Structure formats: structure tokens, C-alpha cells
């Protein structure tokens, strides 16, 4: 099957070819025709399956017949809204909108928290047909009177399960109340939990259903290996693996922001260029870290779970779980950063005695035992006892801590509104936004 068989207009097919794609992924092949028919859609697909193009391409086609090159905001009403849980994902979705829509006179921009609201306000008032937003900042703009959804035609909820996990359910309900009821709605989620099904039943009308990846199944093309190691030797083992195997692009996960900062600093001292990305980093810092990592200027990107959700890095070969996640499902999201779009990848987990229960929970979720390989010279000492895992602000590296273990997952019902983590005081509003418009 080729993109030519999906009913896409020539301008979109041209853009797809310019992006180097010839064959649609399964989610694209199934979702695009349904969306073009005007159907509501409930789609289950893991990250890395090509789902962004699965809704971006047909969305652009449905809006294209009425596109105008007029600069008047009245001629550029918001006709499509794409909600995402994080700033990084919002930026990447809007980049896809611009890439695939480069030959179509539609304008787009993205709005998210943690940056100065004024440039975003200016872009909105200039007029855009396609808006990509995180829930909290969207409501901020709504409160300032910067948004008009009276002509909205399409709503997309991307990574809906993550939005619920992050406590956005009330914000989503508020946003839905602002939108016309006669609209097309597309919901994409990595899992179909009871909450997702309940949400879908309330605002999707006779939706078509597409399920690509079996629930809670890790990417098939990802080679998964566990390296047992003592907690105090994790950093040395990580540096050894990177240097001895000449790994050039490595995404490393820690449980805490403090742990990410400390590990990044230690790797730099080992002569391995590294940067950390997490919720306490300013948006310009996060953008620079991701851009440097993508172009190879930085060898290792150390990230927390929330910061890394939605990162779209083509052909990322290596993911390392420096610390296993508290929530087993997050392991699947982590390793889904590699093995994307048909490319092979490798996920290594450095597991100390403190994390044996976390590993068992992950294997139970995967319904298989992960292969264990002891690296020569780094065999764990069986006499070292397990210690409770400390999470949160006092947490650090290697899983060591003094407090009781507790879940790091935000309360999905009553947690505070947050667009991709809390912005430190004093940073909010000081950094320029990154709005982009097209078709002027």
C-alpha cells in the first residue's frame, strides 16, 4: 500500500514524499480514510507508530478547501484544535502540521505554559486555522478573551491517557464545554482504560475504532536487556557501556529531576557530553537540549518521564533505564522512544537490588521475563541489602534513599493543573514563546 491509495490530495502527497515517506504505517492506513469520511475516531496506538500523521494529514485535507491567504483574523478562525499533554509534544505536532501542510495556505501556531504569553496572544490575534495547545495555557488564553471556537470543525485529543494521568480531566471538561457540539472528534491513546472509555462515550459520536498495538505491549523491534549492577556502580557502568560500545545517541531515564541533573553532570566529568531535560528547566533550555541532542552536539540526553513523553526523535537507537520507573506502564512509554517507524532499537535497564520488585512488576505487565546480562567487571555484590526507593524532590540516583517508596504518578482526579511539570518561580513569563504562522 502507498499513500496514493488513501485519498489524499496532491499537495499532501507531495509533502509526504518530501519528508521521505512512501508507505503508510498501519495506524495511518486505517485512520486516514476514516477521518476523511468525517467519522469520529477512537484510536489506540503507541507512540512511534506514526499516529501524528494519521490525524494531521486528513485534518489538513478537510480544512484545505476553505483555506484563504487573507491576513484578516476573521478569515482565519480556529477551525481545528489539537490538545496535547506536554509542551514538547505540542511543538512537535505543530511542526508536523507545518511540514505536511507546507503547500496548503493554512496557518497554525502552538500555545503552552512556562513561557511569555504575549507572543502567543499576538499570533492568535493575527488569526490561525489550526491551534495546537496544552490544556492549562489554552484556558489561560480563553480567560483573556484570545480564543473564539465558534467555527471549530475538528478536535483532536492526542495521548489522552497521559492527559488524564497528569490531572487534566477537569481542564478537558472545561474546554469541551467551550466547543461547538457539531464537530468531528478524534481521540488517540496508548491504552484504553476505563477512564478513557468513559471520556470517549461522553463526547464521541458513533466513533470508528482503530487498534494498532495490543494494550501494554512493548515495541516489537526493541531489543530489551537488563544489566544487574550495584546501585553505587550504575553511573560507572553507564559510562562504560556508552564508551566501550561507542554509543552516539543515548536517551537516559531517571526517576527524579535532581537525579537527572546529577547524572548529567557526572557524565560530563567522564568526558561524555550530556544535558538534562525535565520540568524545572526553562522552555528555551529544553528546546536547546533537544535540538543539540537531535543534531549530535550532545551525546546523552538525561530525562525524567514527564519531560520525555512525546519526544519524537527519528531513528533513536538507544534508550537506557538508569532507574526503573515506579509505574510499570511508564517503562513501555520509555522504550517506545526507540524502535519507531520500523527502525530497530535497544533498551537497556540498569537494575540494582532495590529495584527487583519494580522489575517483576514490569515483567508481569509484559507477560515475559526480560533477559539478564551481567557486564564483566560489574557483577552485583549479593551481600548488599535492598533499600527503600526514594522519589520526589529528595530522590537522587541509583534508587538509594531514606524514605518509603511511593508512586510518582500524579493524581488523575485532583492533581494541580500543570503543562508538562511545574515551572520554577521567577521563570514564568520571562522567556519568549515560539509561535509560528504559515500562509501569510
Domains by residue range for the chain, with CATH: 3-211 (3.40.50.300), 222-394 (3.40.50.300)
Q: What is the 3-state secondary structure (H, E, C) of the chain?
A: CCHHHHCCCHHHHHHHHHCCCCCCCHHHHHHHHHHHCCCCEEEECCCCCCHHHHHHHHHHHHHHHHCCCCCCHHHCCCCEEEECCCHHHHHHHHHHHHHHCCCCCCCEEEECCCCCHHHHHHHHHHCCCEEEECHHHHHHHHHCCCCCCCCCCEEEECCHHHHHHCCCHHHHHHHHHHCCCCCEEEEEECCCCHHHHHHHHHHCCCCEEEECCCCCCCCCCEEEEEEECCHHHHHHHHHHHHHHCCCCCEEEECCCHHHHHHHHHHHHHCCCCEEEECCCCCHHHHHHHHHHHHCCCCCEEEECHHHHCCCCCCCCCEEEECCCCCCHHHHHHHHCCCCCCCCCEEEEEEECHHHHHHHHHHHHHHCCCCCECCCCCCCCCCCCCCCCCCCHHHCCCCCCCCCCCCCCCCCCCCCCCCCCCCCCCCCCCCCCCCCCCCCC
Is 396 exposed, middle or buried (CB count within 10 Å of its CB: 0-12, 13-18, 19+)?
middle
Run of H or E residues at 223:
strand 222-228
Q: In this predicted structure, what is the pLDDT of residue 270? A: 93
Helix (H, G, I), strand (E, B) or coil at 188: strand
- Which residues are 348's β-sheet partners? 225, 320
Contact between 266 and 254 under an 8 Å Cβ cutoff? The reply is no
Pseudo-torsion of CA 384, 389, 394, 398, nearest 10°?
Answer: 50
Q: How far apart are CA 152 and CA 148, in angstroms?
A: 8
> Is the pTM here over 0.95, yes or no?
no
- Residue reference for cell 526507540: 338
- Contact indicator for 158, 84 with CB cutoff of 8 Å: yes
Give me 34's grid cell. Answer: 476514516
Q: What is the pLDDT along the chain (440 residues), one digit of tens a residue?
A: 789 999 999 999 999 999 888 889 889 999 999 999 999 999 988 666 788 999 999 999 999 865 555 555 666 899 999 999 988 889 889 999 999 999 999 999 999 998 899 999 999 999 999 999 999 999 999 999 999 999 999 999 998 988 887 889 999 999 999 999 999 999 998 878 888 888 898 889 999 999 875 555 555 678 899 999 999 999 999 999 999 999 988 999 999 999 999 999 999 999 999 999 987 887 788 888 888 988 889 999 999 886 666 566 766 889 999 999 988 878 887 887 776 655 678 999 999 999 999 999 999 888 889 999 999 999 999 999 999 886 553 333 343 333 333 333 333 333 333 343 333 323 333 333 334 444 33
Helix (H, G, I), strand (E, B) or coil at 245: coil
Amino acid at each position: 500500500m502507498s499513500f496514493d491509495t488513501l485519498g489524499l490530495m496532491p499537495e499532501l502527497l507531495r509533502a509526504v514524499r518530501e519528508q521521505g515517506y512512501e508507505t503508510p504505517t498501519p495506524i495511518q492506513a486505517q485512520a486516514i480514510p476514516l477521518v476523511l469520511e468525517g467519522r469520529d475516531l477512537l484510536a489506540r496506538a503507541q507512540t512511534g507508530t506514526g499516529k501524528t500523521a494519521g490525524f494531521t494529514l486528513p485534518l489538513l485535507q478537510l480544512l484545505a478547501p476553505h483555506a484563504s491567504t487573507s491576513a484578516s483574523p476573521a478569515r482565519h478562525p480556529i477551525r481545528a484544535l489539537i490538545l496535547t499533554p506536554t509542551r514538547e509534544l505540542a511543538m512537535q505536532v505543530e511542526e508536523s502540521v507545518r511540514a505536511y501542510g507546507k503547500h496548503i495556505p493554512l496557518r497554525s501556531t502552538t500555545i503552552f505554559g512556562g513561557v511569555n504569553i504575549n507572543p502567543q496572544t499576538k499570533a492568535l490575534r493575527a488569526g490561525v486555522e489550526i491551534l495546537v495547545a496544552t490544556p492549562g495555557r489554552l484556558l489561560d488564553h480563553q480567560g483573556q478573551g484570545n480564543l473564539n471556537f465558534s467555527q471549530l470543525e475538528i478536535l483532536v485529543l492526542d495521548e489522552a491517557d497521559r492527559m488524564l494521568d497528569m490531572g487534566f480531566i477537569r481542564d478537558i471538561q472545561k474546554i469541551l464545554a467551550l466547543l461547538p457540539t457539531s464537530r468531528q472528534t478524534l481521540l488517540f491513546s496508548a491504552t484504553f482504560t476505563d477512564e478513557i472509555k468513559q471520556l470517549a462515550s461522553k463526547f464521541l459520536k458513533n466513533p470508528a475504532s482503530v487498534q494498532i498495538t495490543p494494550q501494554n505491549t512493548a515495541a516489537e523491534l526493541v531489543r530489551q536487556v537488563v544489566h544487574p549492577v550495584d546501585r553505587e556502580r550504575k553511573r560507572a557502568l553507564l559510562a562504560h557501556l556508552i564508551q566501550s560500545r561507542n554509543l552516539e545517541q543515548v536517551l537516559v531515564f531517571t526517576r527524579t529531576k535532581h537525579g537527572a541533573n546529577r547524572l548529567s553532570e557526572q557524565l560530563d566529568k567522564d568526558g561524555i557530553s550530556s544535558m538534562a531535560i525535565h520540568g524545572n528547566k526553562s522552555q528555551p533550555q529544553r528546546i536547546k537540549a533537544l535540538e543539540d541532542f537531535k543534531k549530535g552536539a550532545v551525546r546523552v540526553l538525561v530525562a525524567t518521564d514527564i519531560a520525555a513523553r512525546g519526544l519524537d526523535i527519528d531513528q533513536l537507537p538507544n534508550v537506557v533505564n538508569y532507574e526503573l520507573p515506579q509505574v510499570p506502564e511508564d517503562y513501555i512509554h520509555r522504550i517506545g522512544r526507540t524502535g519507531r517507524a520500523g527502525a530497530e532499537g535497544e533498551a537497556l535497564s540498569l537494575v540494582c537490588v532495590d529495584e527487583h520488585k519494580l522489575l517483576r512488576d514490569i515483567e508481569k505487565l509484559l507477560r515475559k521475563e526480560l533477559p539478564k546480562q551481567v557486564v564483566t567487571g560489574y557483577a552485583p555484590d549479593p551481600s548488599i541489602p535492598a533499600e527503600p526507593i526514594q522519589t520526589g524532590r529528595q530522590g537522587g540516583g541509583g534508587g538509594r534513599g531514606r524514605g518509603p517508596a511511593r508512586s510518582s504518578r500524579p493524581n488523575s482526579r485532583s492533581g494541580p493543573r500543570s503543562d508538562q511539570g511545574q515551572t520554577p518561580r521567577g521563570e514564568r513569563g520571562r522567556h519568549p514563546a515560539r509561535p509560528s504562522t504559515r500562509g501569510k
